[in-house]
Structure 1
Amino acid sequence: MNRRPTLLAAASLTAAAVLSLSACGGGDGGSKNDDKIDGASNAKPTPTPSSPKAPAHAIARPRIELPKDVKNVFEGGRTGDAKKDAILADSERMINSIDEAVTVDAKDHPALKFYSKGDALASAAEYVQSFYSAGTTWTGETRYYNREVTLLKGGAAAVTYCGDETKSYSKDRKTGKVKRTAGDSDDYVSYNARMEKNSKGVWQATVVTSQEGAQQCQP
């Protein structure tokens, strides 16, 4: 693996279970796991759009900023269905919000709990904290592809996608030293996210599972 000290996953659920879950309602609830996370980042953050592909409408969204040396590339995003496109756009924001919390030192990361809740928020907070505990961050580029949306009964949705981490690397938070290693099959990760629309009109991740070295994500 290149950059991730731990997997972003809800340990109590499998990826297949996300698709079969019935909708359990929206809500804007937070989590006790989304506490402020201390750390340091030497990279200067620059703004990245919350979504390059879908209008934000009247929703007041928190700004998401990633360092100059951190880039997420999202392939696809236009399905021809306005609802699915909105879900994909908020899925992008969810991913960026987690990486902002990992790579940018701040007292609070409001986007993290804006785009995730429940098990997904708890898992995200644990994932972010694992970087700080290890004294690392990451640099480089991660590519997301094979993104698909399945609308579920009750109004929820499942988003499946792959992540290519072969060009993203672990970076020491204090020294800035980058550990460049050759990518391998484990750097291709399969994700499955359950998304629910809250009262503000935001599609939030409620459960996210992942699998390293997934066969369907290999080049």
Structure 2
Amino acid sequence: MNRRPTLLAALALTAAAALSLSACGSDDSSKGKGNDKIAGADTGSEAPVSPSPSVSDSAGRPKITFPSDAKNVFEFEKTGDATKDAALADSALSVNSVDEAIFEGSVDTKALGFYNADKALSASITYALRYINKSDTWVGETRYFDYKVTLSGDNKAYVTYCSDESKSYIKDKKTGKVDNTPTTANAYVLYNTGLTRNADGVWQTANIVSDRGAKACQP
């Protein structure tokens, strides 16, 4: 079983937004993987890179740390729009914050509530606790790709992307056993997310819907 054995709780975006993002995911599939890759929104690099899990800055953003045997890779390039790029960067940090809670064995981490809000925060806490209560964690590498971002006014954004969990696996903290089961279609997940920019300028993930095994994300 790959490292996300159950779906992240599906939460309702507005109907129009959900349909729009799903359409983006379908378009990505028709183009093939590798197109529209987005990476390191604040690195200036044109090549796909992975924002560091330990990103922090002078604005009081919490430091996020990962163990040496786990890694998230976010494949996206700058869009040329500063607002979209900021939303994409914070979307990646939202993902990292949930995984950090799993690694730390606690949902009281600073980053979890910093990058997530509302229904997405509640779902993230529930999701992380599934690991924590079973004394599970994960190891390996998870890849995030085929990003699309749409703005709605000054403080709302919708981001869709895929994940590839074929190289990441559940690990039992008590025994150290890693569940290296074969990869299936369920290792690929389509995410539709809604973000809201708060008063401090942080793009918090507020809503999220996931579709495990989505055809749009299959290799």
TM-score w.r.t. length of structure 1: 0.79
Aligned amino acid, residue 60 of structure 2: A
1:161-172 → structure 2 map (5 Å cutoff): 161-172=161-172
Whichever structure has more helix as a proportion of its residues is 2
3-state SS of 1:66 partner: coil
Q: Runs of 4+ in structure 1 displaced over 6 angstroms?
A: none
Q: CA deviation at 1:107?
A: 7.8
TM-score w.r.t. length of structure 2: 0.79
Quick one: structure 1 residues 161 and 16, their matched pair in 2 at CA, closer, same or farther if it must change by over 3 Å?
farther
Q: Which residue of 2 aligns with 1:49?
A: 54
Q: Which residue of 1 aligns with 2:9?
A: 9
Q: CA RMSD for the aligned pairs?
A: 2.2
How far apart, CA to CA, are the structure 2 residues paired with 1:154 and 1:62? 24
Quick one: structure 1 residues 74 and 206, their matched pair in 2 at CA, closer, same or farther if it must change by over 3 Å?
same
Q: Is the 8 A contact 1:72 1:96 kept in 2?
A: yes
Q: Which residue of 2 aligns with 1:186?
A: 186
Question: Percent identical across equivalent pairs?
Answer: 48
How far apart, CA to CA, are the structure 2 residues paired with 1:66 and 1:7? 22
Q: CA deviation at 1:77?
A: 3.5
3-state SS of 1:113 partner: helix
3-state SS of 2:87 partner: helix
Q: Is the 8 A contact 1:139 1:170 kept in 2?
A: yes
Q: Deviations over 1:86-127 (max 9, x none)?
A: 011000110000000011245831100000010000000000
Q: Which residue of 1 aligns with 2:59?
A: 59
3-state SS of 2:66 partner: strand
Q: CA deviation at 1:164?
A: 0.1
Could you list the runs of 5+ residues in structure 1 that have no partner in the other structure? Answer: 22-46
Q: CA deviation at 1:49?
A: 3.1
Could you list the runs of 5+ residues in structure 2 that have no partner in the other structure? Answer: 21-51
Q: Is the 8 A contact 1:64 1:100 kept in 2?
A: yes
Structure 1 residue 216 and structure 2 residue 216: aligned? yes
Q: CA deviation at 1:177?
A: 1.1
Structure 1 residue 133 and structure 2 residue 138: aligned? no
Quick one: structure 1 residues 143 and 16, their matched pair in 2 at CA, closer, same or farther if it must change by over 3 Å?
farther
Aligned amino acid, residue 164 of structure 1: D
Q: Which residue of 2 aligns with 1:111?
A: 111
Q: Is the 8 A contact 1:48 1:64 kept in 2?
A: yes
Aligned amino acid, residue 152 of structure 1: S
Q: CA deviation at 1:148?
A: 1.2
Quick one: structure 1 residues 50 and 119, their matched pair in 2 at CA, closer, same or farther if it must change by over 3 Å?
same
